Structure 1
Amino acid sequence: MKTVILLLAVLGGIFTTAAEEPFRPEAGKFPALEKAHAYRGELVFVDHANRRGSLRVQGNGVFRRNDPQPFAMLPYGMICYHGAPADLRDIPLGTVMHVRAFLPPDPKISAVPVLPVNNKEKDADHRRGVGVAPAENHVLLLEDEPSHCLREGKVWKLKEVDLKNNAGLITARCEAKSGGDGKADEETLNFDAATRIWRGRECLTPEELVAEGAWPASGKKSLGGQGSLLGITWKPTEGGVFTRFHISDIWLDDAAMQRAAHQQTETHKAFIRSRWMPAWVDAVEYGKFGRATVTVTLFGGMDASLYAEFEKDRPVWVNGVENTLKHTEGGTAGPTQMASKGSVRDIAKTPGEPPLGSSGIQIRFETDLITEGIRPTRIIRIRPANWPDVHLPREEYLDSGKFSHEDRFPTPAIFPTY
C-alpha cells in the first residue's frame, strides 16, 4: 500500500510539473494572446533600432521607486500609438503603455536580461510591491491608452474637474463604451496648462476651455460623465501621492481621435515602405541552381493599404533579418543590393480572424537566389519593387557575415543591473 501511495505521489508530481511548465512562444507559431502576461508602465528608455526599451512597471507600491524593467519586442510584436500602427521611435518617453508579453522564446539569444520565470510573483519590497519586475519581457502587444481603449471598446467618462491656474485634477472612470456596469473604479489624474484638448480639428488648452465657460476659472465643476479618450503619461506628483498619472491629451470626440490616428498611420506607412514589410518563412520548395519557391506570412499590425500593394505577378525584393528586424544582408551597400529578387506567384488569406501578430496573408514567390536568411521559421523583410530603394542608417543593419548574437550592436550590457 505504501508503494502505491508513493507511486501516486511521484506521478502526481510529474503531472503537476508538466502542467506548470512555463509557456514560451515557438518559432513559426503565433502565440495566443490569452497566454500573455498583462501589465502597464511608463516608457522610460527606448532603443528603437533594436526594438527594445525599458518600462517602469506599475505595482501596488510607490510607483516612482520602481526600477525600469527592460523589454524586447517579438519579431511579430505590434506597437500601437494613438489608435494606429507605430514604431518605438514614435512614442514619447513618459507615455504609459499597456503590455501583453511572454517569457523569452530562446533565453540564449534574448536581447534583454533574462529573469527568473516567477519574478512577477516576487515582492520587490514593501514600497514597490508584487509584479513590478516581470520575467515576461518579450512583447506581443505594446499600446498606449487610447489604442488600448479603442481595441477593448472602452471610454473614459469624465466626472469632475478641479482647476486652479489652468492646472488641476480630473476625476474619471474607464468603462465599456456600450455602457458601464458600475464596477469600474474612479481615478484621479493630473493635468496642466500643456495638456492638449482635441475637438474635431481644433487643439485647445485648458485656458481656452475656461474662456468658453466649459471649465471653471477656479474650483470644481461636474463634467457629467462626458465620454472621452485620454493620453496618459506620468510626472512627479506633489503632496506625497504614491501613484497618480498625468493627462497629456484629451480627445473629446471621434473626429479628433480619427484625425490623430490618420496622422500616425501615415507616419508608419512611410516608415515601413523604407524598412520593408516584416514576415516569416513558412516553407521553401528548393529547385536547381539556387532557385526556390518560398511561402511567407506577413506580420500583422500594418495599415491595410500596405498589404494591398503586394500583387500577383509583381516583382518583390526579400532580405533576411535578425529577430530585432535589422537587415542582416547588404550592409553598407544597402539592403536591395544583396536581396533576393522574386516574382509573386500567389497571395492567399487564411480563413477566420488571424492571431495577434499575423496578418493572415501568405505570399508565395519564386526566386533564383535563395540565401541562408530565407529558411523555414526565419524572419525576413519583403517589399514590392516599386517601394523606395533607400540606404539605412548604420544602427539599423548588421554587416553580412560579420555578426553574432553575442556581438550584437549594442549589447545587452547597456542595461543596468539593479
Structure 2
Amino acid sequence: MIRRQSVLYALLGLCGLSAYTEEAKLNQFPKPKTYKYIPGELTMVDHVNRMGILRPDRSDEHNKYHWDLPHHFTMLPYGSIKFHGAPATLRDIPLGTHLHGRLHIGPKGGYRVPLLNSGYFQQVKNQPNRFSPDSQYSHVLLLEDDFSFYRRQGSTWTILSIDTEKLKLVAERTQWGSEKPEGLTGKQSFDLTAATRVWNGKAAGTQADLKVKQVILFNLTWATIYGPGRLTDIWIDEESRTKATKQQRATHHQFLRDHGVPALVESVEHLEKGAGNVLVQFYAGFDEQTLADFKLKTSGRLIVLESNLRSHDQGNDAKPFRVDEIIRIQKADPGSSGIQAEIYVPELLEGIRPGRSVRLKASTWPRGDLPREERISPFDIRPRFLEVAPAK
C-alpha cells in the first residue's frame, strides 16, 4: 500500500497536481482540505467578474526561472474573501496586498500545462512563460490578507527589535490557536518604509509608537522579493484591530444590502401556478448581523445569478419570497456559512434550479438598481480581460 501511494504521489507530482486537491464544481461545495495553499500579491483585479491575478510567493517548490509568473484566478460562486478579519469583496482589496489563497483545480482544459523544470535558456525557448506553473489551480475558495490569515489561526507577532536607520522590524510569531500553523513562523525581519501606516487605538499613529514587546498584526506587500516582505500596515493593540474589523464588516454589510446575499439553491419543490418551496444555503460571509434581517415570515426579493454572482437586471427581474424557516448546519462544508433557509416563492424563474446561485435581499434593504457595468442585461459591457483562454 505504501509503495502504491508513493507511485501515486509521484505521478501526481509529474502532472503538477496534489493528492489532496480536486477540481472544484460550481454547483456544489467542495470536500474539506481538497485545496492547494498558494500565497501571493494581488497585482490585477476585475472586481465585477470576480477575477484577478496574483504574483505567487517565491518558494523552493518551483524552478527559480518560473518565479513571479502571473497566476490568473476566478472566484468560485461560494469563494470568499477576508480583509481586516471580516468578509470582503475584491473591490475592497488594494492592489499590492499580500494574500493567502486556498485554490482548487479549474475545469479541464481551462488552464495552462505546468512549465517544465529546465534550464533558463531551454525554458524561454521551448515554454511560454506568461503563466504561473500552478495555473491549473485557478478557482479560489478563500483569499485572506495577512491580518485575517494570522488572526484566524489565533496567531499574533511580538516585536523583538526596531532599527529606524536600516528600516527593519524583527518580530516573532506566537501561536495561540490549536491549528497547525500556516504561513510564516518563528522570527522574521520585515522592511519598514516611510509609507508604513501604524494604527494605535482608535486613531492613526506614527512609527514612533512602535515599541519592543508590542503584540501586533500586520499586512505586507512585496513578499518574498527581498525577504518576507514590506510592512504596509501595523496594528499595535487590540483596540485598533477591533476597529479595523468593525469598519470592514460595515463595508461588506452595505455591499450585501445593495446586491443581496449569495446562496446555493439546493432543492426546489414545484407547487401549483408556478410557485415553489426553495431550500437555499448561504455562502460563507453570511453572518449573524445579516441574518437578523431575515426574520421568519418576512418577505424579500430573490435575484437569479450567473456563476460569477452577476445578475442580469436585478431592478426588474427579481421575484418576491417569504422566509419560512432558518436552519443551522452542525458541520458546514467549505464555502458554506452553515445556514440554510426554506423560502416560498410565488413565481419561480428559470434560473431557480438546484445547483444555481441566487441572491436574497431582505424587505428592509434598498431596491435600487446596480451600476450599468455590473448588469449583464440587455448586453454585457464589461470585458473579461483577465479570463484565461483554454490551453491548446
Cα deviation digits, residues 310-332 of structure 1 (max 9, x gap):
1111112111101110003x2xx
Task: Spell out the pairing of 1:236-385 with structure 2 (5 A cutoff).
Answer: 242-328=226-312, 330=313, 335-350=314-329, 352-385=330-363
What is the CA RMSD across the aligned residues, in angstroms? 3.5
Structure 1 residues 289, 124: CA separation in 2 closer, same or farther (over 3 Å shift)? farther
Task: Tell me which residue corresponds to 1:232.
Answer: 220
Task: Tell me which residue corresponds to 1:102.
Answer: 104
Which one has the bigger helix percentage? 1
Task: Spell out the pairing of 1:85-100 with structure 2 (5 A cutoff).
Answer: 85-100=87-102
Larger radius of gyration: 1
**Counterparts of 1:391 and 1:185, CA distance in 2:** 50
AA aligned to 1:68 is: P
Cα deviation digits, residues 247-299 of structure 1 (max 9, x gap):
01111111110000001111110011101000010111112221111111111
- Report how far residue 78 of structure 1 moved: 0.9
AA aligned to 2:321 is: G
AA aligned to 2:293 is: E
**Counterparts of 1:355 and 1:291, CA distance in 2:** 29
AA aligned to 2:334 is: L
Give ranges in structure 2 of 5+ residues lacking alignment.
13-17, 124-128
**Counterparts of 1:409 and 1:378, CA distance in 2:** 22
Task: Tell me which residue corresponds to 1:140.
Answer: 141
**Counterparts of 2:347 and 2:188, CA distance in 1:** 58
- Report how far residue 177 of structure 1 moved: 3.0
| 1:46 lines up with 2:48 in the alignment | no
TM-score (norm. length: structure 2): 0.83
**Counterparts of 2:336 and 2:59, CA distance in 1:** 34
- Report how far residue 243 of structure 1 moved: 4.1
**Counterparts of 2:19 and 2:336, CA distance in 1:** 27
Structure 1 residues 305, 122: CA separation in 2 closer, same or farther (over 3 Å shift)? farther
The answer to whether the 8 A contact 1:33-1:356 is kept is yes
**Counterparts of 2:74 and 2:119, CA distance in 1:** 25
TM-score (norm. length: structure 1): 0.78
SS in 2 for 1:265: helix
Structure 1 residues 141, 33: CA separation in 2 closer, same or farther (over 3 Å shift)? farther
Number of matched residues? 367
**Counterparts of 2:187 and 2:361, CA distance in 1:** 47
Give ranges in structure 1 of 5+ residues lacking alignment.
1-8, 216-222
| 1:176 lines up with 2:175 in the alignment | yes
- Report how far residue 355 of structure 1 moved: 2.5
Structure 1 residues 416, 356: CA separation in 2 closer, same or farther (over 3 Å shift)? closer
Task: Tell me which residue corresponds to 2:126.
Answer: none
**Counterparts of 2:331 and 2:152, CA distance in 1:** 15
SS in 2 for 1:46: strand
Task: Spell out the pairing of 1:20-31 with structure 2 (5 A cutoff).
Answer: 23-31=22-30
Q: Percent identity?
A: 30
- Report how far residue 44 of structure 1 moved: 0.4
**Counterparts of 2:108 and 2:238, CA distance in 1:** 43
SS in 2 for 1:266: helix
**Counterparts of 1:299 and 1:377, CA distance in 2:** 13
Structure 1 residues 124, 354: CA separation in 2 closer, same or farther (over 3 Å shift)? farther
Structure 1 residues 42, 29: CA separation in 2 closer, same or farther (over 3 Å shift)? same
The answer to whether the 8 A contact 2:49-2:384 is kept is no
- Report how far residue 353 of structure 1 moved: 3.7
SS in 2 for 1:50: coil
Task: Tell me which residue corresponds to 1:392.
Answer: 370
Structure 2 counterpart of 1:114, from 111, 115, 133: 111
The answer to whether the 8 A contact 2:102-2:141 is kept is yes
The answer to whether the 8 A contact 1:58-1:132 is kept is no
- Report how far residue 186 of structure 1 moved: 2.2
AA aligned to 1:273 is: R
SS in 2 for 1:325: coil
The answer to whether the 8 A contact 1:189-1:246 is kept is yes
**Counterparts of 1:344 and 1:258, CA distance in 2:** 33
Structure 1 residues 416, 308: CA separation in 2 closer, same or farther (over 3 Å shift)? same
SS in 2 for 1:268: helix
SS in 1 for 2:274: coil
